[in-house]
Amino acid sequence: MNPTVQELVAALTLEEKAGLCSGADFWHTKAVARLGIPAIKVSDGPHGLRTQREGSTDPNDSIEAVCFPAGCAAAASFDPALTRRMGAALGREARANGVQILLGPAVNIKRSPLCGRNFEYYSEDPYLAGELAAGFINGVQSEGVGTSIKHFAANDQETRRLSVNSRVDERTLQEIYLPAFETAVKKARPWTVMCSYNRLNGAYASENKPLLTDILRGAWGFDGFVMSDWGAVNDRVKGIAAGLELEMPGSQGVNDRRLIDAVRSGALDEAVLDRAVTRILNIVLLAADLAQRPAAFDRAAHHRLAAELAAQSGVLLRNLGALPLHRGQKVVYIGAYADRPRYQGGGSSHVNTTAVSALDAALLHDRMVQYVEGFPADRDQRDETEFLRAVTAAEAADVAVIFAGLPDSFESEGGDRRHMRLPDCQNNLIARVAAVQKNTVVVLHTGAPVECPWADDVSSVLCMYLAGEGVGEAEDALLWGDADPCGRLPETWPLRLEDTPCYLDFPGDGVTADYREGVYVGYRWYDARRMPVRWPFGHGLSYTGYVYRNAVLSADTLAEQGLVTVQVTVKNSGAMQGAEVVQLYVADATGTPVAGGRVPQVLRGFQKIALQPGEEQVVTFTLTPRDLSHYDAALHDWYAAPGRYEIRIGHSSRDIRVTLPLHYAGTRLPPLQVDETTPLGILLADPRTAPVVQHALRAETAAMTNGGGDGLMPPEAMAQMFDALTLRNMINFGGPQAEEKLTKLLETLQDAIK
């Protein structure tokens, strides 16, 4: 019989235990041969395996592997079943290559489109990111390989990422930056979580006890281990006590020694070290056991899957009719990305592979297309001869398709963008082509939104994001109508950088990043300000059409512990097979004040359904009170006020097709604190205190209004004046015994809110 983890921990020396809490090298944990404890191997990354070649001494010398769509593109599929399939494929590749933990998914929230690593992340919306991450993790782990969901937490910029202090209030953290992790932990039980480099509210994530222990384990029930991002450890002893189990890649023994010394001096309870070792060994033994299973994968099948996922992720942003292309049309492809597409980003997620280009795919399918480079793929360089060739060819063609995008140097791990523009040469050529060719199509290869000053002048825009090695095949299918575009935007595309929620605070002053926009991230911000955007969250066109009807709720009222179901019938009303993403948003129409602001609507459900022409399907969503809630920092809990909510169902956040009213019959009232400075407006709006105050008011009104009731002020102004008065003011005007009256009134009010 093999020893249990408990027995192993008891048999380990202090030195061995400290050693197990850090990596042996860049990618391995340590083995303890005398006790039969194996080492396990971890490798990047979120959309392809980047694992060091056996025998190589260069950590960046990685084997060839399949590059699937990066997070930005995979998220546009709006399909957790798809991220699950992608995860399972990655799990198979990992296992076949001796990797036990895959370092992904990456779920940080897209606070600003400028974040250099947005291409790896999923969304500006935590619900979408969480569901996609859960699918991915379940997929990888179904193959007996672990995951490391990253980077925990509030790591939303690359500028000074190793030290920046993300200052985020409690509600914003709970409502925006944590739920993707929470959903993934609860729905998919990742084996590990990777803490981020940055500080969060003053404490490094790697030694942040509220984050790593109270929230992750206490509130969400995480039962794996936490590893550091590579080199993220600040104070190792503090870190282990806070809940950071494994330091990666290790510090050549320096931090192990610190742990040993701390135990010996009594600064660190040995039980804390034992607990960390136990958590690590639970996973190491499980991983080593599962690694025994036979492993193989079919490279060609995985490439086909990568192309299929890319096709499912392409977003048709605009189409006045130039797409789909038809055989017999004279088509010119312009731009170097037609030949050398950008399909992945730079940094730790970079996969060693080659991609199929749109030109390769056109050749394969016998498409008659002419090609003019027009502009280069790797820099902003304008060559007038090339420009003229492109414009002339475009003018002579029936359709011009421009393959545009961001060069690697514009967008990568390690740095943020400084602006949101494409290279000038590309904007320039697009404008010139559009001036001579009404059927101009732009295909975008970017990891994040770019400003599109030419958007109204071209016929069609297809966004591929960074779609992985199958990008060309996917483009070919989407452009030529062999597949219907069914991707949707997982983030808002703003008109200009200056419109973005954290424009004034991103990336901060180099020391602190103040998340002053609070919960107003992404569409929550643009909707609250009723701001025009280039393309809204959830947007994506199709070559077919969808009709929504018969939307119903299972009940008009939702009880405090209850649930309601929402059903809607969706029909493919066009002539082509396609897939619709049915989106459900909840709007709080109670009118109850919300500390930190009420966001106009929040995504609480989505489902992607494939429909043949004429086919219809009933889509069902389930809602619970949590879906109506915001996070209340005074309660330290989720809270929904009783009253009226709107359930909005539609094609995008700005294309709502049906709105259903729902009454929430919650009995819990929001927390209320009363003292002598509380304004009457608050007390009169609350059913607990209103009767008490109304009673007191009747006695005091004449004195307080200073005769205003006799026409001195318009009634609206009077009402506002009342609203602003505090209890203290009310009594101040009240003549003798004021102090006494105030004390009594406060007592009655305290009783009323108990």
Paired sense of beta strands 557-558 and 655-664, if any: parallel
Reduced DSSP (H G I as helix, E B as strand, rest coil) percent helix, strand, coil of the chain, to 5: 35, 20, 45
229 is catalytic: yes
Query: What residue ranges bind ligand BGC (CB under 6 A)?
Result: 44, 103, 150, 229-230, 348
Residue with smaller CB distance to ligand BGC, 149 or 558: 149
What are the angstrom distances between the C-alpha of 413 and each of 151, 346, 478, 488, 509? 13, 6, 29, 24, 20
Q: C-beta of 148: minimal distance to ligand BGC in Å?
A: 7
Q: C-beta of 620: minimal distance to ligand BGC in Å?
A: 37
Q: C-beta of 103: minimal distance to ligand BGC in Å?
A: 4
| Residue at shortest CB range from ligand BGC | 348
Residue with smaller CB distance to ligand BGC, 148 or 460: 148
Q: C-beta of 202: minimal distance to ligand BGC in Å?
A: 21
Residue with smaller CB distance to ligand BGC, 72 or 674: 72
Q: 81: part of which helix (H) or strand (E)?
A: helix 80-96
Closest listed residue to residue 475, CA positions, set 448, 444, 454: 444
Distance CA 564, CA 624 (A): 7
Distance CA 74, CA 465 (A): 9
**Angle at which helices 80-96 and 299-313 pack, to 10 degrees?**
160
Q: C-beta of 76: minimal distance to ligand BGC in Å?
A: 21
Q: What angle do CA 421, 424, 426 make, to 5 degrees?
A: 95
Q: C-beta of 123: minimal distance to ligand BGC in Å?
A: 18
Asked if the bond preceding 714 is cis, omega within 30° of 0, the reply is: no
8 A C-beta contact, residue 168 and residue 515: yes
Q: Which of 44, 79, 125, 229 is catalytic?
A: 229
Residue with smaller CB distance to ligand BGC, 230 or 480: 230
Tokens encoding 408? 């690697």
Residue with smaller CB distance to ligand BGC, 229 or 308: 229
Residue with smaller CB distance to ligand BGC, 42 or 323: 42
Residue with smaller CB distance to ligand BGC, 16 or 229: 229
Distance CA 390, CA 409 (A): 24
Closest listed residue to residue 400, CA positions, set 467, 469, 459: 459
Q: C-beta of 65: minimal distance to ligand BGC in Å?
A: 14
Residue with smaller CB distance to ligand BGC, 102 or 730: 102
Q: C-beta of 44: minimal distance to ligand BGC in Å?
A: 5
Tokens encoding 126? 């935590």
Burial class (CB in 10 A: 0-12, 13-18, 19+), 596: middle
Helix, strand, or coil here: 160? coil
Give just the sign of the alpha carbon dihedral 274, 278, 279, 284.
positive
Q: 135: part of which helix (H) or strand (E)?
A: helix 126-142
Give just the sign of the alpha carbon dihedral 395, 396, 397, 398.
positive
Closest listed residue to residue 601, CA positions, set 638, 561, 647, 640: 647
Active site positions, annotated:
229
